Amino acid sequence: MASTYTSNTGIELISTGEQSGTWGDTTNVNLQIIDRLTNGVGAVTLSGTTHTLTTSDGSLSEGQYKLLVLGGSPSGTCTITIDPNDQQKIFFVRNNSGESAIFTQGSGANVTVVDGYSALIYADGAGAGAAVVDLTPNLQVLINNANWSGADLSVANGGTGASSDSAARTNLGVAIGTDVLAYDANLQAFITALTLPTSDGTADQVLKTNGSGTLSFADAAGGISTGKAIAMAIVFG
Task: Note whether 141 and 148 are within 8 A (CB).
Answer: yes
Task: Note whether 94 and 46 are within 8 A (CB).
Answer: no
For every one of its 237 residues, what pLDDT tens digit does the chain have, with 9 covering 90 and above?
688 999 999 999 988 888 888 888 999 999 999 999 999 999 999 999 999 999 999 999 999 999 999 999 999 999 999 999 999 999 999 999 999 999 999 999 999 999 999 999 999 999 999 999 999 887 766 655 555 555 565 555 556 677 777 787 888 788 877 888 777 788 888 888 888 888 988 888 888 888 888 988 888 766 556 666 666 666 655
Rg value, the chain, Cα: 36
Residues 156 and 199 in one domain: no
Q: Is the pTM of this model over 0.95?
A: no
For 180, which DSSP code?
B
Domain count, the chain: 3
Residues 10 and 119 in one domain: yes
* Residues of the domain holding 207: 184-237
Q: Which one-letter amino acid corresponds to residue 166? A: S
Residues 9 and 105 in one domain: yes
Separation CA 61–CA 103 (nearest Å)? 17
Residues 174 and 230 in one domain: no
